[in-house]
Amino acid sequence: MILNRRTLITALATAPVLSTASGVVGSSPARAAGDTYASNTALYADIALVEGVDYRRRYRRHPIDDTGSSGRSALVRTAVIAPHGGGIEGGTSELCLAIAGYHPAEPASTTTAAGPLHDYWMFEGLRATGNSALHVTSTHCDDTIARSLCAGSLNVVSLHGCTPARAGLPAGAAVVLVGGLNATLRQHLMDEFTAAGIRAVAASGDEEIAGLSPENICNRTLLGMGAQLEITTELRAAMFADGRNNLVGRAANTLPLFWSFVHAVRTAVERVEAGQRVL
């Protein structure tokens, strides 16, 4: 795949950053089954919720500098997102940071001496209990930063958690389901998970698991396709010394499986980026 650098930089610089009074953009979709809120817009507008208490948003968009006479900033091609982080789908926030290249316990520091460092965005439930009420299905994610970040990226990896039963798997299955519309990235992810000894299966079934709708936040990229990873409860729990449900302690208690997963995703992204030639 050959892409014109100037065109990409223009697209990144002009990616939509529209806002409303609630700080988000989008229509008003019907509420998804099981969700309390029809969209992020609706969630942010609820005066009963307090940002920083009930939930928070964390993100980083790397600067692009193409003005120098010698040398250029590397073009960030990939964003990593966790739409249901914190206490909603435990472990996905930490994976998001680590895959993006940052230490999950100290996001100001990087885990890699030499890039790539990816852009990232996450929405996190902060409550001691009841975080599932903050879940907004991925086809209804209309957070301004999330939409803008994905729209300005060639690739997106979206991290989610599910139960084996929800994914149609046997009880206790420690599996990652690989979905999304980017077939090349999906195949690289499957290959790298297999090489790392992590059981991976192709996602199928409903949209929430398979991530095949163009409206899914993972597919709202410059190329119109991305990847979605649904990680079962058991696999996420095995990544942390004190289990996935310890919101405070898990970032500092990662196990080797966590880093094997991170390395597999980063390697798959590097492979897909290697095939995206930017002139």
Question: How do the domains of the chain map onto residue ranges?
Answer: 2-59+76-278
Residue 18's pLDDT is: 43
CATH assignment of 2-59+76-278, among 3.40.140.80, 2.60.40.1180, 3.40.50.720, 3.40.630.100 = 3.40.630.100
pTM recorded for the entire structure: 0.88
DSSP symbol at 254: B
Chain position carrying tokens 């079934």: 205
Cβ-based neighbours of 18, under 8 Å, separated by 6 or more: 25, 144
pLDDT of residue 177: 97
b/e for 116-138, b at 16 or more Cβ within 10 A?
A: bbbbbbbbbbbbeeebeebbbbb
pLDDT at 17: 44
Q: What confidence score (pLDDT) does residue 66 get?
A: 73
Dihedral sign, Cα of residue 220, residue 86, residue 93, residue 165? negative
Dihedral sign from CA coordinates of 18, 23, 27, 32: positive
User: Residue 22: its pLDDT value, please?
Assistant: 39
pLDDT along the chain (279 residues), means of 10: 55 48 49 86 98 97 75 79 96 96 88 80 96 97 97 97 93 96 98 98 89 97 97 95 69 94 97 84
Largest CA-CA distance found in the chain, in angstroms, rounded: 59
